[in-house]
A and B are shown apart, each in its own frame.
Chain A
């Protein structure tokens, strides 16, 4: 049999590939299956949070902010508990990032509040004097694209079976229900904000980008 293989390099190569691939699968698959399950109590993004995540991607926050806390004391002292892979299962794509020009944001919702984000996004230097982060004043006037976020949520629900509308989970419902739920959530956040234009816009039924972004940042816990 092996003499035959020695005379047939193609099948020899196939045999080598099969053996190495099998060993690789045994090493990789169990760990991967274990690590890619959602952590307990992790819920899919609400429509407003999803919209905020889209703004985060749009503004390329990932260029300067990571979302991955490594298991070192210096990191966990500053940013909180070590990140687990099961926490990213509803992130498509995940936003780990690779540069920390600004701080890690994976648990920013634990130690910053809505009103702090409001001050900081409007003028970072007003709260952190040495900050090199740019200001994002236009987020207070531009309106959030809720429909795209709803479409994304619906897509991941249908294509990847993300557990929307599960008992005790995140409700998605129809487009109108999704819009209404996003507005409700936005009202709760705007109530904690000071900016009058933002409050007025939300009262009119429009959701400024800053509200969606804060919803997303508050969810990062």
Chain B
């Protein structure tokens, strides 16, 4: 046994010892089959290392090269014109065939798309979300509404929903006097309610003032006579005839989802449409939350 062989044996032994040390001192969980397979792999590598080394060390001692020499001589170093080993040649042909398959059908250029994968994830998430929250209770909806509100609404309406001193609509009360007067003066046809457009100038002067005071005050007490102009669409109680017209008393689901869908431009400024940005459940949650922040 020559010194080369001893070195190969020592190297393999070191690999084996290292494997044993790792298993023994690093809390390897042997009940996990993955760890077992890994240890077997490590042992196999150690054995193979020695096997391969032994083969070539022997070959170096005994092998005589045969065959026809190529014409070139590179600084005295020659090259045999031996046949390529059959295994290599067949594997090479195999990779070409595999390459054609891979290129054309196995993994064509457009088979994977990042956007496609994203779409699948979103679809799966939405199905799960709808299933989980199909019959959510009021507390869940309120909490969900609060998180949606803080992300999507708070930048304009403020974290407390008070509209930040008139920079946006004040959600702690239903509607302000100026806003009522503005709608009476200009009419409104933005929100897509079944009742359709509200014509401008349904009431004027003192009548409009009286209506605005009454509506902005939360419709307490008896309605002024002029409020009869509003009753046909908004209902005697101002609640919008079950979603046919905007509810003047409180933020109901129809009102919230219509404003989110269509956006709104009013006395204060413009609110963009949030169409498709929120799911129906989130809109419902938002309506629930907005009702709870009434000041």
Residues of chain A at the chain B interface (Cβ within 8 Å): 3, 30-31, 71-73, 76-78, 80, 82, 109-116, 119, 126-129, 192
Contact = CB atoms under 8 A, between A and B. Distances in A.
A129 B159 contact: yes
B7 interface: no
Contacts of A115: 167, 268-270
A116 B156 contact: yes
B271 A126 contact: no
16 contacts: A71-B117, A71-B118, A77-B151, A78-B151, A112-B272, A113-B156, A113-B269, A113-B271, A113-B272, A115-B269, A115-B270, A126-B167, A127-B158, A128-B155, A129-B159, A192-B269
B164 interface: yes
A111 B276 CA distance: 12
B133 interface: no
Contacts of B271: 113
B265 to A, nearest CB: 8
A192 B277 contact: no
A113 B109 contact: no
Nearest to A119: B167
Nearest to B155: A128
Interface residues of B, number: 26
A127 B167 contact: yes
B72 A127 contact: no
Nearest to B157: A127
Interface string B94-121: 0000000000000001000011011001
Contacts of A112: 155-156, 272
Interface in B227-249: none
Contacts of A111: 152, 272, 274, 277
A3 B72 CA distance: 9
B56 interface: no
B122 interface: yes
A112 B270 CA distance: 9
Interface string B192-210: 0000000000000000000
Given A31-B109, A76-B122, A127 B155 contact: yes
Given A73-B125, A80-B277, A112-B155, A127 B118 contact: no
Contacts of A109: 272
Nearest to B263: A113
A113 B271 CA distance: 6
Contact of A116 (B109, B117, B152, B269): B269
B242 to A, nearest CB: 30
B122 A127 contact: no
Interface string B161-205: 000100110000000000000000000000000000000000000
B178 to A, nearest CB: 14
Nearest to A27: B109
